[in-house]
Structure 1
Amino acid sequence: MSSVREWPKTERPRERLIKEGAQSLSDAQLLAIILRTGSNGKTVVNTAIELIQNFGSLRGLDEASVGELKKFKGLGTAKIAQIKAAFELGRRVLSERAFEQVFNSAETVFRYFYPKLNGLKKEVFITLLLDTKLRLIREVKVSEGTLNQSLIHPREVFKEAVKESAYAIILVHNHPSGDPSPSDQDIDITKKLKKASEILEIPILDHIIIGNGRYFSMKERGII
């Protein structure tokens, strides 16, 4: 199989990125730039394609442990470190942007959280702590796993909000099924937390459920 160096310059990932921008490249081509070289007689692009296929998606690759990555033929310590570093940099960029973002709509919250929560196999319940300008103070993971009344207790939801003197909070969780429609339990938990928010005078601005490419806003639907 020919080396990437033998490809026309217009087809080489690095050259295309510089000329056309990173957005013009596929996931595999971007990953190929991070990996730099192929393995086992395969081009780096083919290696990248096989990696994504093996772990199912970029998220699957991100969530893979170092041990799981080592089982993939051709991935040594250096390449694994490069992959992990690239994903971590992406997360840090998202975190920096969050502090500049005004969380004043369900659409804004969805755009911020969808890349983080889409494809997860477990439900994750997160509280966004906001200041008076509706900018992020920080986000707090309250629980991970199937949501129930015992896990999502007002004490756990509001503890950090009180500590940080948050002006308001937004509740966010995902549905691994991809359907963001709320369950009866989702609605019951929200109403319970709403009562606690009124006592503490820390308003819940919304509870947003993230699904596959779409969301459900309890504020927009008049539930809170």
Structure 2
Amino acid sequence: MEQAAEAAWAGGGLVRARGVVGVEESRERLFRLGAEALTESELLCVVWGPGPRSPGPLQLAGTLLARSGGLKALVQEEPLALSLMPGVGPVRAAQVLAALELGRRAQRTVETRPKLRTPEEIHAYLAPKLGAMRREVFHVLCFNARNVLVHDARVAEGTMNACPVDPREVFAAALTSRATAIVLAHNHPSGDPEPSIQDVGLTRHLISAAQLLNIKVLDHVVVGDGGYVSMMERGLFPDAGWEAKRWSANGGGG
């Protein structure tokens, strides 16, 4: 297998360019050992390819990762701010952010209408979308009676520590998709998914409004850095007797 990879690489007619040893060596290692064997600096180096700027791509990648705090912090960088870092520029900034976004999208569910039945499944669905965002965003997940997701609407976007939510936007999304139940969800860019007093107050306000529309609010999931909090499981819903078995859009076991 390794010999075949080396042959394929050699047969590609690629010539090692002077001054870009880090790029070519990283590419060769990828073909011989697989992408998983490369360091984060080497992977960035492959994405960038050779360029006229100094230092070389491999050294620049290592410096950038150290300065930004790693890939998780790098994915949160604003494009303009990243492009202004020494040696990066707009082309390399676009390349790295596009590559990181492709990786995030690859983690998402391939189903366009997944069946989500538990807070764990909701988190697994949302984490690739919300886990690395720099600002708070608020989503309404709309379900039919079989717990199939029929619409995922982002109804608000705020700052790093606040996200004003208009109840009209929340229920417009639910009514437009003819949902029988919804799950509220938002992220905490700080990484701590613990709900705030404001989060709990908003949730209870929306639950009261949903009852008038005969729409069931199944949960409010707060997404943090690698974790989440289900307000339903935490007992933060108005009905203290709310049970996990009621996590169903039709109220009868889904």
Measure the CA separation in 1 of the matches of 2:205 and 2:42: 48
The 8 Å contact of residues 130 and 137 in structure 1, kept in 2 or not, is answered as yes
Partner of 2:10: none
State whether structure 2 residue 122 is matched by structure 1 residue 109: yes
Candidates 204, 207, 229, aligned match of 1:191 = 204
State whether structure 2 residue 53 is matched by structure 1 residue 53: no
Larger radius of gyration: 2
* Structure 1: runs of 5 or more not aligned: 7-11
State whether structure 2 residue 22 is matched by structure 1 residue 4: yes
The Cα shift of 1:172 comes to 1.1
SS at match of 2:165: coil
State whether structure 2 residue 173 is matched by structure 1 residue 160: yes
Aligned CA distance change for structure 1 residues 16 and 136 (closer, same or farther; 3 Å): farther
Q: How does 1:33-182 map to 2 (within 5 A)?
A: 33-37=46-50, 40-94=53-107, 97=110, 99=112, 101-143=114-156, 144-145=158-159, 146-147=161-162, 151-182=164-195
Candidates 208, 217, 220, aligned match of 2:221 = 208
Measure the CA separation in 2 of the matches of 1:90 and 1:154: 33
Number of positions where the alignment pairs a residue of Structure 1 with one of Structure 2: 217
Higher alpha-carbon deviation: 206-215 or 79-88:
79-88
Tell me how large the CA RMSD over aligned residues is: 3.0
* Structure 2: runs of 5 or more not aligned: 1-18, 238-254
The 8 Å contact of residues 129 and 136 in structure 1, kept in 2 or not, is answered as yes
Measure the CA separation in 1 of the matches of 2:23 and 2:124: 38
The 8 Å contact of residues 194 and 222 in structure 2, kept in 1 or not, is answered as yes
State whether structure 2 residue 36 is matched by structure 1 residue 27: no
SS at match of 2:229: strand
Moved over 6 A (4+): none
Partner of 1:223: 236
The 8 Å contact of residues 13 and 33 in structure 1, kept in 2 or not, is answered as yes
Letter in 1 for 2:189: P
Measure the CA separation in 2 of the matches of 1:57 and 1:136: 34
Give the share of equivalent positions with the same residue, in percent. 35
The 8 Å contact of residues 17 and 24 in structure 1, kept in 2 or not, is answered as yes
Letter in 2 for 1:4: G
The Cα shift of 1:4 comes to 2.3
Partner of 2:15: none
Higher alpha-carbon deviation: 62-71 or 209-218:
62-71
The 8 Å contact of residues 23 and 49 in structure 2, kept in 1 or not, is answered as no
Higher alpha-carbon deviation: 124-133 or 206-215:
124-133
The 8 Å contact of residues 29 and 38 in structure 2, kept in 1 or not, is answered as yes
The 8 Å contact of residues 114 and 148 in structure 2, kept in 1 or not, is answered as yes
Superimposed CA distance per residue, residues 154-208 of structure 1 (whole angstroms, 9 cap, x where no aligned partner): 2121111211222322111122333322222222211111122222222222111
The 8 Å contact of residues 139 and 185 in structure 2, kept in 1 or not, is answered as yes
The Cα shift of 1:32 comes to 1.7
The 8 Å contact of residues 108 and 125 in structure 2, kept in 1 or not, is answered as no
The Cα shift of 1:220 comes to 1.6
